[in-house]
Structure 1
């Protein structure tokens, strides 16, 4: 099944490339950017412009130690790689800080390869580039690409309305007048979509067991159900300015 999906995605991607080549040469291509970042300057200081790309951990209680000690890095949902991307969630496979149009040369130190704190904003520390504390300090670009690619594949298989299993579920739902979902799925077995999403959650749990226990470099992937599949949220240790310039 996975090979079929990969082949289908490759075919659609190739088709998309051909369509792009046939477009008006004067048409400006759509630019990719990570909308989970913005540039700001601490209003209380005369400091450098900082790229704000990690955020409060809204998946934890405001009075918890987790909220105090962690931040969230978000991988954006994208809509340009497959058909029906409005109903099939997909996430960017560009390594954070290496996306097209990423800010990579604004640092006073030149082009950076790792995350470097350059200033403070809203009682947190940030750099001057699109690099986040996640890549490559906590996980390599290749590892992240493999994880996001696997998540995208699982989501495609779960939500594809033209897959055999999803089509069968929909037909049975129509024939039985919703009896199928109300009774059969509740007491006997779940739909194909629910089964695949449950498998995806197990995969994320396995990743968290692997990566969250790495001393000083642990991180945690937040359940996609909590983010409503709108972003891939990753909990990281709160960056600290332990080596001030």
Structure 2
């Protein structure tokens, strides 16, 4: 009886799957919007594009999110609801790596670079796309690939309409990729199962009944220490140091993301009107450079 019930339930489940698949295909749009597909998590394997080719899910920065209740830059003290075409995209976050009551907490923000689980699961692998350059990034023709502030949210922070973050003021896509690519290469070697370092450690650990793990840390560098040295080297390079940008070690976030510390933008809200009347322009990027 139990077997028959299970067979019947499996048949019912398969019928439901077939019906659901037919409903999905009939409701599929003729063209696909990669942003809509990725943001909603819709599986696109079964949907067809104009040319008849299958289009799978596209990668986007899953740390960002949209917000429609905010104040406009022109009226910073008047927060209100906005329509879907004018949602701001939250691309930078509080600096959780410093004390909340410190000056650094109020003067810096964090841009999160996500892991690419679709590339590999064997080792941490981070996106080498500058925020706003991902395949399914939310882009704005009005903004292009440079951050432009349109809304004020989260304690007077500035945000734009697209996935582009303030990091675009200081690094190009190629410069950003050159920084992240070595991080992925070092982590790939560090997490490799069949590397000589891992095999030797495993054998010695077995022979010493676990004592080698404790002893080796005092005589040999852990491969992940190469990453710490590389990050320190990059942080001291002119490309980052001159702009007061700093990479937070992925170790501090459990290798879930690469977090980049940038100068806080909230002070622009308070000084925009002053600089506009003083020098005759209101470009947030230009004002930020004057304030640094």
| CA–CA distance in structure 1, aligned partners of residues 179 and 216 of structure 2 | 30
- 3-state SS of 1:226 partner: helix
**What is residue 191 of structure 2 aligned with on the other side?**
159
Out of 207, 216, 220, the residue aligned to residue 185 of structure 1 is: 216
| CA–CA distance in structure 2, aligned partners of residues 46 and 121 of structure 1 | 12
**What is residue 179 of structure 2 aligned with on the other side?**
147
Scaled by the length of structure 2, the TM-score of the pair is 0.66
Task: Please identify, of 229-238 and 172-181, the stretch whose mean Cα deviation from structure 2 is larger.
Answer: 172-181
Scaled by the length of structure 1, the TM-score of the pair is 0.78
| CA–CA distance in structure 2, aligned partners of residues 221 and 149 of structure 1 | 14
**What is residue 61 of structure 1 aligned with on the other side?**
99
- 3-state SS of 1:139 partner: coil
- 3-state SS of 1:120 partner: strand
- Asked which structure has the greater CA Rg, the reply is 2
Out of 137, 159, 164, the residue aligned to residue 131 of structure 1 is: 164
* Structure 1 gap segments, 5+ residues each: 1-22
* 1:118-145 residue CA offsets vs partner (Å, 9 max, x unmatched): 011122110000100002x111111110
* 1:210-241 residue CA offsets vs partner (Å, 9 max, x unmatched): 24431xx3200001211111000000011234
- 3-state SS of 1:29 partner: coil
Aligned length: 209
Q: 1:112 to 1:41 in 2, by over 3 A?
A: same
**What is residue 170 of structure 1 aligned with on the other side?**
202
**What is residue 198 of structure 1 aligned with on the other side?**
225
Please provide the CA RMSD for this pair. Answer: 2.2
1:49 aligns with 2:82: no
**What is residue 250 of structure 2 aligned with on the other side?**
224
Q: Which structure exhibits the higher relative contact order, with contacts defined as CA atoms closer than 8 Å and separated by 6 or more residues?
A: 1
Task: Please identify, of 164-173 and 32-41, the stretch whose mean Cα deviation from structure 2 is larger.
Answer: 164-173
| CA–CA distance in structure 2, aligned partners of residues 154 and 53 of structure 1 | 27
* Structure 2 gap segments, 5+ residues each: 1-44, 49-53, 71-78, 273-281, 285-292
Contact 2:133–2:173 (8 Å) recurs in 1: no
| CA–CA distance in structure 1, aligned partners of residues 111 and 126 of structure 2 | 13
